[in-house]
Amino acid sequence: MNLRRHLTVIALALTGTAFLVAAGCGPASNGTTANQGNTAGGPTADAEGAVTLTADQMEKGKEIFFNRCAGCHGVLRKGATGKNLEPENTKVKGTAYLEAIITNGTPAGMPEWGKSGILTPDEVKLMARYIQLPPPPPPERSLKEIKDSYKLHVPVSKRPTAPPAGRNWQNYFGVVLRDVGKVAIIDGDTKQLVSIVNSGFAVHILRSSASGRYFYSIGRDGKVGMIDLWMDKPDVVAEVKAVNEARSVETTKFEGFLDKYVIVGGYWPPMLVIMKGDTLEPVRVISTSSHEIDNGEFVREARVAAIVADHHSPTWLVNVKETGQVWIVDYSKLGDGDGPVSINMISAERYLHDGGWDTSKRYLLMAANARNRISVIDTNTKTLVANVDSKGITPHPGRGANLIHPEHGPLWGTGHIGSNHVSFIGTDPQGHPGNAWQVVRTVELPGNGGGNLFIKTHPNSQHIYCDRPLHPDKELADSIYVIDKNTLTNKKTLLIPEKYRGHKAVHMEYNKQGTEVWVAAWGRKDQKGAILVYDDKTLELIAEITGDWMVTPTGHFNVTNTKDDIY
């Protein structure tokens, strides 16, 4: 690395700038255009320094941007978790600067796409130029197009009427094999592979039906799959391409409406798609484009970052990321799809990302990670209770972690992408009013910088687990951090086995009983990954689940914990 580039990376680390974050890359449009002529050769610049790409290079850049970049920076590249990468911002930085960031990442959470080998040197050069050119217009999607993509593989009448004999299917895990477009179903008792299911590209999450019988998968490509776990070899019984890009799917969990509907939130187009819960037949589309809460400016790309089903009322709570609104969507009068859907829009904070319930499932805590705050929604009164300073940089809780502390009472925890803080917020305004809606304790993970994506615990465990896969230090990214619930200190750091070093340890999930913690060793597509199983009491590695089929394992979801929102 030359001196100029080395100094650039140091400056970024000191300022905490994350130009292209954990799913991210960016845009452009400063009077420059793509070269539609010769498609051979590499990126070029004209005599005045304007960047040009061939049509083939633009297509390649578009594909990489979708796969790695749009999640944080947006299809229109206006930013959210990641920075705004419109041309007036990217072009002034220069190509060498952008190449350095894409290659090396930053401690604030930008992955080292080049250094890790996920992008080749030529791809890094391409993306540094691609994001200085105007983004191609993204396609829209109509209800008719959604319905045309719908496939019912196995009608309800032809599905099993009883769960598989001899299997504890409620302790199944669904493991996302991200880059090969598959989901592995693993028996949590025996650690045996039960089935490998074809899914959408880069599945983001799995959500259990209220009964636990079905996994609903949502891919980055907007494809929804309905996996029947009662089959001897679980498989997709219905599928639909709801949107072009997505992160969230959820079922209905209120008594009387259990699994009646399924909802998908679109990144692009920004909208909600509601389907029938037993067949995935599409019935309703609702745009989420709206006006943001700061200045009332209209936001076309108002993406749905997370959806949580209320257990106590017939509603979903929907994070509309760029607007800073939490929508309470009432499905009680929807009927067969032709009835009304009422929406209560609550102004919270920007930019909303992810979060989950407190222990009572009355309060919903959502990270507004651009403002380093946690928005708290009271689902009884349907109001914003507080915007809590998270005491860290870029909170990223996943669903978060709930615990009952002997001194502070009920707490909810989040880690941070941009700093090494794990923060615990009081969630009991009746029993512990002095602690309610403020950070009562922070824990600093070893080393500087953040990189945390997920935090997890279980009512039967005395521990809280944090990962750090976005940290540029390989040893820190290969570690899981164990926090003691009583002392709220980092009790132990678990470094994954040497043969998986450099893979990145990501996402923790307990088994149904809360006695084991499963961690993914997430490597490149050409590496064999693993699910590492730790004993929660001894913190010793007790099993490695691997095979030639274990390619890019990332999120993994236990049936019972997912359906009951245990975290």
Per-domain residue ranges of the chain: 3-130, 147-170+203-223+230-347
Sheet holding 463-466, edge to edge: 455-456, 463-466, 479-484, 490-495
Binned at pLDDT 50, 70 and 90, residue 44 comes out as low
Question: Is the confidence at residue 49, as pLDDT, over 80?
Answer: no
Question: Distance of CA 120 to CAs 41, 63, 85, 453, 522, Å?
Answer: 16, 14, 21, 25, 18
CB neighbour class for 43 (10 Å; exposed up to 12, middle 13-18, buried from 19)? buried
3 state SS for 197-227:
EECCCCEEEEEECCCCCEEEEEECCCEEEEE
pLDDT (0 to 100) of residue 249: 98
477, 468 Cβ separation under 8 angstroms: yes
Task: Looking at the structure, give the CATH architecture of the domain made up of residues 3-130.
Answer: Orthogonal Bundle (1.10)
CB neighbour class for 62 (10 Å; exposed up to 12, middle 13-18, buried from 19)? middle
Is this model's pTM higher than 0.85 or not? no
pLDDT (0 to 100) of residue 101: 87
- The span from the CA of 134 to the CA of 479, in Å, is 39
Percent of the chain whose predicted confidence (pLDDT) is above 70: 90
Which active-site residues does the annotation give? 69, 72-73, 110, 353, 396
- Determine how many CB atoms are found less than 10 A away from the CB of residue 119: 21
List, for residues 77-110, the tens digit of each pLDDT value: 877 767 888 878 888 888 988 888 898 876 656 7
Q: Average of pLDDT values for 296-312?
A: 96
- Determine how many CB atoms are found less than 10 A away from the CB of residue 4: 10
List, for residues 361-405, the tens digit of each pLDDT value: 999 999 999 899 999 999 999 999 999 999 999 999 999 999 999
Question: Distance of CA 30 to CAs 64, 82, 86, 90, Å?
Answer: 21, 20, 9, 9
pLDDT (0 to 100) of residue 43: 53
pLDDT (0 to 100) of residue 12: 33
List, for residues 527-566, the tens digit of each pLDDT value: 999 999 999 999 999 999 999 999 999 999 999 999 999 9
- The span from the CA of 342 to the CA of 325, in Å, is 15
Task: Looking at the structure, give the CATH architecture of the domain made up of residues 147-170+203-223+230-347.
Answer: 8 Propeller (2.140)
pLDDT (0 to 100) of residue 30: 28
Using alpha carbons only, how large is the chain's radius of gyration in Å?
23
Question: Distance of CA 92 to CAs 30, 88, 89, 132, Å?
Answer: 10, 7, 6, 9
List, for residues 282-299, the tens digit of each pLDDT value: 999 999 999 999 999 999
Q: What is the mean pLDDT of the chain?
A: 89
Q: Average of pLDDT values for 149-178?
A: 97
- The span from the CA of 182 to the CA of 273, in Å, is 23
CB neighbour class for 36 (10 Å; exposed up to 12, middle 13-18, buried from 19)? exposed
- Determine how many CB atoms are found less than 10 A away from the CB of residue 190: 11
List, for residues 1-22, the tens digit of each pLDDT value: 333 333 333 333 323 333 233 3
- The span from the CA of 304 to the CA of 465, in Å, is 27
What angle is formed at CA 211 by the lines to CA 209 and CA 213, rounded to 5 degrees?
70
Binned at pLDDT 50, 70 and 90, residue 111 comes out as confident
